[in-house]
Amino acid sequence: MNRKRLVILLSAALAIAAFVAGAVAQRAGMFVPDRSIPTRDVS
């Protein structure tokens, strides 16, 4: 297998994983109420 092809596949997999993680985090943020998320910056 070509090294350049492997690098392209790895970068594509990382981009897809980052996109999926962002979508899951956004969807979880919609379902989880805001009061359950600890906010440390509130004095």
pLDDT (tens digit, 0 to 9) for every residue of the chain, 43 residues total? 799 999 999 999 999 999 999 888 888 777 666 655 566 665 5
Distance CA 15, CA 6 (A): 14
pTM over 0.85: no
Distance CA 13, CA 11 (A): 5
- Cα angle 32-34-31, degrees, rounded to a multiple of 5: 20
